[in-house]
Amino acid sequence: MMAMENKTADATLESLHRIFTVPEAPDSTLSMIEQEISQNLNQFLNTHIASREKALADIEQDFCSAEIPEHPTFVSDHTQFLLNKLVAQSVHTSAPSFIGHMTSALPYFLMPLSKIMIGLNQNLVKIETSKAFTPLERQVLGMMHNLIYNEKNGFYQQWMHSADHSLGAFCSGGTIANITALWVARNNVLKAEGDFKGIAQEGLFRAMKHYGYDDLAIFVSERGHYSLKKAADVLGIGRENLIAISTDENNRISLPALNDAILKAKANNIQPLAIIGVAGTTETGNIDPLDELATIAEQHGCHFHVDAAWGGATLMSNRYRHLLSGIERADSVTIDAHKQLYIPMGAGMVLFKNPALMSAVEHHAEYILRKGAKDLGSHTLEGSRSGMSMLLFSALNIISRPGYELLINNSIHNAEYFANLIQDSPDFELVSAPELCLLTYRYVPQRTQAALALANDEQKAQLLDVLDKLTISIQKHQRESGRSFVSRTRIHSVQWQRENITVFRVVLANPLTTSDILKNVLMEQQELARQSRHLPLILSLTEQILD
């Protein structure tokens, strides 16, 4: 137990009481941290996160004991351990040169506000433990619903706080949001009818017998997020029945291929469960043609879900929201607030166009979640849940829609700048141009680019193989040196008619990322390429081809 400073660290009931009130002597290490964090979060992170990375195996050495301590530790001692062993080896996701992932910097005010949230410790599953937080969360869902669907005629006054309806669900992230959307879609396709009490009551096996389907299928482009596979798995649909539709040269779902796949399924007595459009794919950031997808879904009477976990925040921008047009026709939409809305991890949402749709998953229990009550838990997959929606509520108020628009527009502007920089650098190749603020590229020496265009199949394959190795090696060394970070992925290359090539992936969300930082990222990569043991082979293959 965390005994107090200046006392022996012993676990008496008296000292246990104290940890639920206030410490007698202010705890020095904790106070220092609180002060540093509230005065200058970035400085705190810069000071305490080591710039050089330790090998994971070495870090594991600090976390390898399975013994639950038999003796209490002073808070200060323990905090010091955290600073040295945990914070020091953490990833500096808020650094302006950390441009590899969707996880980015946070506004400073969320730190103290999250303390209020944790201090209050409300449980959003039921009103009895979240009297004010439940209306707040319903309002947040209403605001996000409005952002997507912009319903009129008193729609929000009517449904926002209605006991038997739900505009959506707040959850821990895009994965749960996607599962929830498909759960609702599944239960509506296999709903009660005649003597059949519905899949929620009778299960998938009897539902399939009742409806006489041989199978169910979900359609999404091959760029769909892996969380959809998890959803297909847990909902009993099966990963194989998540049908991956091919994409065009812009990484968008091919509509003819989608139509063919749906017709083929129907001809085989396979019931389409949902069509999913991706608004901002994880690997290339592209947006499917949502309006056309909505029309196809309508024609087949099929649930239309849009996975806008990452890209949905673009709706905040009046300049760019047209890129997602058609999203307002979706039956359900996933948006993560912990991506481009700058909220800490654990803030996902699913919104439903029709406030009655979620009744397909409604669940009641006697001691809580009584029928007709307004408990959020009757419609959520998760049970006990924190008041995370408060942080989104605060950020929406403090930053406001135009503030978010500035952030979104700035990110897109930065991505365009970086794309131009790549295109102007002879030894780099832009692989996927940014539609939003995500792009992919790789290092290919200028002469090698010329050689690739002339190479025969065998030479090309050989060259692309070494280029993959070079990309991997540059990315690893850049990460290890700790100055900047880009991620890497493998994507289908239309240009080189190749199954997959390895590329750098950049997500530009941090408003503090400057053009100098972006220039330095390329310079560092150029330097790492020169030092790489793969480069000589690439250059000699290049000269063989060009000779």
Ligand X SMILES: *Cc1c(COP(=O)(O)O)cnc(C)c1O
Mark the segment that binds ligand X (CB under 6 A) among 124-132, 174-182, 260-268, 447-455: 174-182
Mark the segment that binds ligand X (CB under 6 A) among 51-59, 87-95, 171-179, 268-276: 171-179
Long-range CB contacts for residues 15-19, cutoff 8 Å, separation at least 24:
15/72
CA–CA dist 69, 190 (Å, integer):
51
Q: Is 443 in the site for ligand X (CB under 6 A)?
A: no
CB of 224 to ligand X, least distance (A): 8
Q: Which is nearer to ligand X, 100 or 348 (CB)?
A: 348
Q: Which is nearer to ligand X, 180 or 378 (CB)?
A: 180
Q: Is 227 in the site for ligand X (CB under 6 A)?
A: yes
CB of 175 to ligand X, least distance (A): 3
CB of 194 to ligand X, least distance (A): 37
Site size with ligand X, rule: CB under 6 A? 13
Considering only residues 303 to 362 of the shown chain, the ones binding ligand X according to CB under 6 A are: 307, 309-310, 336, 348
Torsion sign over Cα 67, 70, 74, 77:
negative
Rule CB under 6 A: choose which of 175, 378, 440, 525 binds ligand X. 175
Q: Is 174 in the site for ligand X (CB under 6 A)?
A: yes
Q: Strand 438-443: give its sheet, edge to edge.
A: 428-432, 438-443, 498-507, 487-493
CB of 306 to ligand X, least distance (A): 10
Nearest residue to ligand X, by Cβ distance, number only: 174
DSSP string, 214-243: SEEEEEEETT--THHHHHHHHTTS-GGGEE
Mark the segment that binds ligand X (CB under 6 A) among 77-85, 127-135, 173-181, 517-525: 173-181
Q: Any residues with CB less than 8 A from the CB of 71 and at least 6 apart, and which?
A: 9
CB of 422 to ligand X, least distance (A): 23
The encoded tokens of residue 157 equal 């006054």
CB of 181 to ligand X, least distance (A): 11
CA–CA dist 344, 268 (Å, integer):
45
Considering only residues 250 to 309 of the shown chain, the ones binding ligand X according to CB under 6 A are: 278, 282, 307, 309
Q: Which is nearer to ligand X, 142 or 348 (CB)?
A: 348
Helix ranges (H only) for 435-534 are: 446-454, 457-481, 515-531
Q: Which is nearer to ligand X, 79 or 227 (CB)?
A: 227
Mark the segment that binds ligand X (CB under 6 A) among 53-61, 151-159, 167-175, 403-411: 167-175
Q: Which is nearer to ligand X, 107 or 174 (CB)?
A: 174
CA–CA dist 422, 478 (Å, integer):
17
Is the separation of the CB atoms in 426 and 138 below 8 Å? Answer: no
Q: Which is nearer to ligand X, 44 or 219 (CB)?
A: 219
CB of 170 to ligand X, least distance (A): 12
The encoded tokens of residue 198 equal 């519905």
Q: Any residues with CB less than 8 A from the CB of 220 and at least 6 apart, and which?
A: 228, 242, 243, 244, 245, 253, 275, 276, 278, 307
CB of 467 to ligand X, least distance (A): 27
Is the separation of the CB atoms in 306 and 332 below 8 Å? Answer: yes
CB burial of residue 396 (10 Å; 0-12, 13-18, 19+): buried
CA–CA dist 70, 9 (Å, integer):
11
Mark the segment that binds ligand X (CB under 6 A) among 170-178, 241-249, 521-529, 530-538: 170-178
- Name the residues that contact ligand X, by CB under 6 A: 173-175, 178, 225, 227, 278, 282, 307, 309-310, 336, 348
